[in-house]
Structure 1
Amino acid sequence: MRLLADEVERQKQAEALAEDLISHALSFYSVNVAAVQPVVQAPAETADSWLVFTHEGVFRLYLQDATENTSTVLQVWQHLVNQGFSRLAPLLPASHGDVCVSLGGRLAYLAKEVDGRPCELAVQADAVEVGRCLGELHILSRDLLFSLQNALEHSRAAEPSLAVQREDLELFRTMAEHRLYPTGFDRLLIKIFGEAIRFADQCLEFLAQLSLDGIENSPCCSGLLLEDYRGRNFKVDVHGTVRLSLIRKVTWGPCIKDLAGVLDLIGERTDWDVAAASRVLDAYQDVRALQPGEQELMYALGTFPSRVWQVCCEYYKGRRNRSEPEAAEMLCREWENQIKRREYWQLLLGDVLGYENST
């Protein structure tokens, strides 16, 4: 009971400190605050932002560690707003003119709250809007200062880790074959291994034929990458326009990786609806035309069996958080998705590119 009481007391003290910090941060902004409401995102138990209700409107206050990356992202955010990227929530300048306030190792910043419902990629209109949004983001970020580009983490066109993943699959198969008492997971991996490794080899062969350095170094192909399209960042307003409430983790690299990521996620959310993906691809290209080699790169990235590798890596190298039947079921499900994923990308791009469907 004493331990529980101590924990409750510590939580109360932490909440009191947070309230003082929030109050201090808001004192740097020229707004008349009426109320502040913490926002807790599951599975977290503490607030990561606060809704600020003022006479001037509704804002959201963010508190983050004062790292160089946070400062860079805020400069990128302000650049996009200045460039006319109206889909992104504007930052409110503090009384001293900067867009953030330094508070003893933390940075506080205030952004206009974006009204609307969460974006659903399974909804055709939402997905098409996300395609346009990405195209606009990639175009407007081209003029980002080189100092900011260099300060961001850089993403490669095709990570060297893909070749490592292929080698890992060989290792996992060997481990499965030499286990004294093979599990259901082992037997399933041995069964699908031939096809999985063939898929991986074909993707690596496609990548070897591309001028990846040319894509990475071309100003027309590089831009700001969001990389995460699952979260709460996208909202849809009453007019059906997709808006971004914030940018937090961004990288610099080939734009096509962003498009490949969102098209792959749309496939998952729509049961691999090629027609839906095609409309999103068209919407993106209405804003930003694809450059030579980008379609081929997107096809290779989309068809590589990374999810199968991920499940196997967790089973053979990581911490097993699932029971044996659950692990085998997960591998079976990811393999079925891999077959569907490959067919999806084949119909979306493979046929156009002249790649033979050998599934």
Structure 2
Amino acid sequence: MADDNKNTSKPGTKPGDVFKHFWGEMTKPPKWMKDASKPSSGKGKDDGKKNEAGASTPKKRQPPSWWSWSTSDGVPQKRTPSKKTSRIESAPEPAPAPAPSTSKSNAPNKAKSKSKSSPRTPVGHGKSDLGRDHDDSLSTVHSIIRRHGFSPAVLKAYGLTATKCEPFGPVLRLRTPKGLIALKKTELTPKQVQFLHQSFLYLEERKFTRFAPFLLSTEGLPYVQVGGDMYYATQWVRGQEVDFRSRPQLALTARTLAEFHEASRGFEPKGYAPAMLFDLADRFQDRRDELVLWKKRAKVKSRPDLLDQKFLALVDPYIKQCDEALSILKRPAVRAHLLHEEDDPPLCHLDLTPYNMVYTTNGQICLIDLDFAAFGPRTLDLAHLVRRALQRAEWEEDVMRHVLVNYNAVRLLTVQEYVMLYALLVFPHRFWRISYQHYEIGHDPHHLGYYELAEAEEEQRQAFLKNFGQQVERMRR
């Protein structure tokens, strides 16, 4: 268009020449026709398979988030005042998800965006849940399964015929005649999966069914071994990951967790059982010692990086918080309560991140991914849930009250459990997790932002702990 605006006539040009020039401009083909005839560079022909494979490659399995690093913390981003206010306010209960659209243009986009925001959140049971309505060929399904590091032989071991396959983080969602199936490659051993399967059967006997049961193989086992790899499959749960900022969802989550704890009491596994987790003082002493060790390691570096400098600037107050938490956990009354609860222990989830709890379309909370489940004090799970919710609400006391009211509706907490809950919240879990990830797992440029996020919340966290600690002390008197 820039050429069209230039004055191409020269001084002394004859009138006839001007009309010839005008006629040439009017009959010249448009620019888009010229561009269409140019050869393509080929960059736009990428079908997205490389990106899809990279995004869905299973990541290295981390320890449970109460014990170690959890990806649900996210990368800190700049917050705007409007978003900050809206997230703190009590959110109305979201309506059940509408029926999946059969539109071919919208369905693939929904599935793609869902895999980015919550890769492990199961959604839907209709055909449109897996993008296009038409089925894929068997060779296409097997190709997708191989691309994501799974073996197609697993389908035969389960007696399944998949007509569609879609990756969701470390899980493959399969469309089969038996419905939607979640297939997962796991690092669990056969005896660990058997323990979980037994616990699920016991929970069903106790009328607690808000979890995803295992699918049995053709041999009647809750797992399949192919090529040295372990797999298990469950029914796909319809819903979305829990939003801790929603008071109704938070209330349901607290009540569901309490009912899960109570329903699991009395379970006696046959054979293997993971180690119990009632030695809290010893376990948290190990974490405190690790902070001291990492401090020494950072100090002796000849060229400490920005992460080391940030860690050294923050670590001493957090070590003092460890000491305070340990002094509470070592009290005789607390130890006596732990010994008493060990006689009738509940099963703890131990990985209560939002994407491991599904808010279903019928308004329930479903617990998924119980790979780390073990017997332990129920306050371990409760403290994890409360801490996650408080972090998302900038440590508002109303969040704690909301959780406790609904949890206590199932079974009241004892005074010593309140004391333990306070101690578990005093312990600097977030700072310890970031440091563990940095010094034991591997360097990540996001860790500096995580440290800054922990530092930014500390004033509000301490104000909350001061008030909650005073309330607990009044209960002890």
Normalising by the residue count of structure 2, what TM-score does the alignment of the two structures yield?
0.59
| Counterpart contact for 1:129–1:241, Cα < 8 Å | yes
Partner Cα distance (1:190, 1:66) in 2? 39
| Counterpart contact for 1:81–1:88, Cα < 8 Å | no
- State the match for 1:321 in structure 2: 444
Partner Cα distance (1:309, 1:103) in 2? 36
- State the match for 2:146 in structure 1: 15
| Counterpart contact for 1:116–1:235, Cα < 8 Å | yes
Letter paired with 1:342 = Q
Q: Give the drift of 1:211.
A: 2.9
More strand by share: 1
2:471 corresponds to which of 336, 352, 356: 352
1:259 aligns with 2:391: no
2:276 corresponds to which of 132, 137, 154: 154
Q: Give the drift of 1:189.
A: 4.7
1:166 corresponds to which of 265, 271, 288: 288
1:51 is paired with a residue of what secondary structure?
strand
The alignment's C-alpha RMSD in Å is: 3.6
1:335 corresponds to which of 432, 442, 455: 455
Q: Deviations over 1:11-48 (max 9, x none)?
A: 95973983343034126xxxxx6x54334223x5xxx3
In the alignment of these two chains, the number of paired residues is 329
2:277 is paired with a residue of what secondary structure?
coil
Q: Give the drift of 1:120.
A: 1.4
| Counterpart contact for 1:225–1:258, Cα < 8 Å | yes
2:168 corresponds to which of 41, 54, 72: 41
Partner Cα distance (1:182, 1:18) in 2? 44
Q: Deviations over 1:122-178 (max 9, x none)?
A: 221111111011101100000201546x61232235152422333444455555666
| Counterpart contact for 2:242–2:354, Cα < 8 Å | no
1:26 corresponds to which of 149, 155, 159: 159
Partner Cα distance (2:408, 2:180) in 1? 34
2:346 is paired with a residue of what secondary structure?
strand
Cα pair distance change 1:311/1:36, threshold 3 Å: same
Give me the identity figure in percent.
19
Cα pair distance change 1:337/1:220, threshold 3 Å: farther
- State the match for 2:198 in structure 1: 75
- State the match for 2:416 in structure 1: 293
Matches within 5 A, 1:43-192: 44=170, 48-54=171-177, 57-61=179-183, 67-91=190-214, 98=220, 100=222, 111-145=234-268, 147=270, 151-173=273-295, 185=307, 188-192=310-314
1:270 aligns with 2:393: yes
Please say which structure displays the higher CA radius of gyration. 2
| Counterpart contact for 2:193–2:222, Cα < 8 Å | no
Partner Cα distance (1:196, 1:245) in 2? 32
Can you give the 5+ residue segments of structure 1 that lack an aligned partner in the other structure?
5-10, 28-32
Q: Deviations over 1:256-313 (max 9, x none)?
A: 1000011111112222222123211211110122134111111111111233234445
Normalising by the residue count of structure 1, what TM-score does the alignment of the two structures yield?
0.76
Partner Cα distance (1:114, 1:13) in 2? 22
| Counterpart contact for 2:276–2:376, Cα < 8 Å | yes
Partner Cα distance (2:438, 2:329) in 1? 28
Letter paired with 1:233 = N
1:88 is paired with a residue of what secondary structure?
coil
| Counterpart contact for 1:226–1:249, Cα < 8 Å | yes
- State the match for 2:327 in structure 1: 205
